Structure 1
Amino acid sequence: MRRDHGFTLIELLVAIAVMSMLALLSWRAIDGMTRTQTLTQERSDGLLRLQSALGQWTADLDAVLDTSEVAPVDFNGQTLRMTRRDSAETGLDSPGVRVVAWALRPAAEGGQWSRWQSGTLRQRDELARAWQRAADWGRGASSTTAAGADSSLAVIGVAQWQVFYHRGETWGNPLSSVGTEAASSGTPATNSMPNGVRLQLTLTGGQGLNGELLRDWVRPTLEAGR
């Protein structure tokens, strides 16, 4: 006669220990894959936000319109303001103008590079008031108005930002008078459109992107050799 034998207690304990180790290793592998996927998604989202912001920055400068009322582009060391064509009304005989501003605004987790824009403007007094509201917003004021036409958007976390103008033959501080002398009359031309605008951003950590970024814009109507 043959007697069937089952597993001993030691064999069961060894089997349970092996399965526990396999389960632990599997959990660590899945957790590592999840963390990697989350980090990749965060960096991808941050890169898309940055690309969108730089695209909007370039579009704003490309659409700058000199109204002869205020400087087409003005940087006071804190806020960059500009007057641009209203892209929503390009088909009209007399399209409106918008005031756009970029500034580093305070936030709960460091600074946020942000964009502000006014509603459509068609009167001189409207332009003057919007120009002032843009400066106030850059200093920390609220972006809302009674009409609700103004709007602002926090773009990306930035620790520091700088703007440089290209005038004459070199890049320099927008507040400097170097390179602003008019060639014909010898009078200052600080309110004229610069040949180029250089953007320098220092991105904050903890958002998938960090380090320093440079972006140069050249005036589309700039003549060759100038």
Structure 2
Amino acid sequence: MKIPAHAQRGFTLIEVLVALVLLALLGLISWRGLDAVHRVSERLDARAEETLSLVRALGQVERDLRRHAGADVLPAWQAAVGGPASPGLSFPAAGIAWARESGLLLVRSTGDGRWQRLRWYVDQGVLYRAAGAPSYRLPLPEPGTAVAVLDGMRAWSLREWRPGQGWMDPQA
């Protein structure tokens, strides 16, 4: 008995092969798209980590600068760190000294009535922070062992705001 052509059910071999090829192409396109999204995600995560490290380092520098000792605490600050005779050293404010070679030197409050000397500097592309032991008495201990705060530094400079002039290099 012969089955009429209009009564056959199912797909022909050609139709199944075309469907498989289309599904394979769709899978390949999807895989490449997901791979591209994954690579972009990894790059964004790395950039976000770099940005977060930079924000943390700048936040610590800002906290240190906000707590710097004023002229009432350190009337002889310039003399204590070398004074005007020290080459390349500038004094943007009491308790703060800057030189490109030695970095940022400052005296800051620890919040409990004690004071401490700090030094921020760059060595071989790494930003370091060295802190002396907190003390109630002058002269304050020199900064001790430095801690690496941020790597990948290309340059380290300081600018101060001068009314009517804008941001200026303190050594200018």
When normalised by structure 1's length, the TM-score is 0.53
Mapping 1:31-46, distance limit 5 Å: 31-46=35-50
Change (3 A) 1:75 1:12: same
* Aligned-residue offset at 1:25: 0.9
1:120 lines up with 2:134 in the alignment: yes
Aligned to 1:54: 58
Aligned counterpart, 1:28? 32
For residues 182-212 of structure 1, what are the alpha-carbon distances to aligned partners after superposition, in whole Å with 9 as ceiling and x for unaligned?
Answer: xxxxxxxxxxxxxxxxxxxxxxxxxxxxxxx
What do the CA deviations read for 1:60-96 (whole angstroms, capped 9, x no partner)?
Answer: 1111114335351111213111010013x2xxxxx22
RMSD, aligned CA: 3.0
| Separation in 1, partners of 2:21, 2:117 | 69
1:131-210 aligned within 5 A: 131=143, 133=144, 143=145, 151-166=146-161, 170=165, 172-176=168-172
Kept in 2: contact 1:105–1:113 (CA 8 A) = yes
Look up the SS of the partner of 2:170 in the other structure: coil
Contact 1:77 1:175 in 2 (8 A): no
Q: Is the 8 A contact 1:104 1:113 kept in 2?
A: yes
Instruction: State which of 64, 88, 100 in structure 2 corresponds to 1:77.
Output: 100
Q: Which runs of 5+ in 2 are unaligned?
A: 82-94
Q: Look at both structures and tell me which one has the larger radius of gyration over its CA atoms.
A: 2
CA distance in 2, matches of 1:30, 1:97: 55
For residues 116 and 16 of structure 1, the distance between their equivalents in structure 2, rounded to whole angstroms, comes to 66
Q: Structure 1: any 5+ residue segments left out of the alignment? A: 90-94, 134-142, 144-150, 177-226
- Could you state the TM-score of these two structures normalised by the residue count of structure 2? 0.66
Q: Is the 8 A contact 1:112 1:157 kept in 2?
A: yes
The amino acid of 1:174's aligned partner reads P
- Residue identity over aligned pairs, in percent, reads 25
1:97 aligns to what?
Answer: 115
Distance 1:35 1:104 in 2: 32
Equivalent residues, number: 147
